[in-house]
Amino acid sequence: MHELGIMESALDAVRHQAVKHGASRVSRIVLRIGTLAGVDQAALRFAYEALAPTSIAAGAVLEIETVPARARCAACSTEFGVERGFIFQCPQCGEYSGDIRAGQELGIARLEFPDL
C-alpha cells in the first residue's frame, strides 16, 4: 500500500509547515488529489487513521479534494475532461493528446492551525 508512504510524506510536510508558522498542532488538513494521481482515497484515509494519532495531526480533520482530470488538444486547443488512461482523444477534432492539464495533483491544498 503506497498510500502509507504518501501519507508519511504528507504528515512530514504538515509538520514542516507547522514549525514554519510556529503552530504546535493542526486542526484541518485538506489534500488535493487528482483522479490520475493513482491514489486510492480509502487507503489514504486508512493510512491517515493509522499515522495521524502519533503525529502533529493528532485530532485533525482530513479532507480530500478530488480534482477531475483534464487534457488539452494541441491541434484545436480544446480542453476536455478525461477518464483514467494515458492517451486521450479530443472530442472536438479527434486528435490524440497526452497533454494532461489537471488530474495529477497530489499534495496539500490547505492547512488550518488552531492557535494562529
Contact residues for Zn ion, defined by CB under 5 A: 73, 75-76, 78, 90, 92-93, 95
Residue 86 is placed in which grid cell? 494515458
CB closer to Zn ion out of 5 and 96: 96
Q: What is the rounded distance in angstroms from the CA atom of residue 88 to the CA atom of residue 96?
A: 5
Residue 96 is placed in which grid cell? 490524440
CB of 111 to Zn ion, least distance (A): 38
CB closer to Zn ion out of 50 and 96: 96
Q: Which helix (H) or strand (E) holds 102?
A: strand 100-102
CB closer to Zn ion out of 12 and 95: 95
Q: How far apart are the first and last CA of the chain?
A: 35
CB of 96 to Zn ion, least distance (A): 9
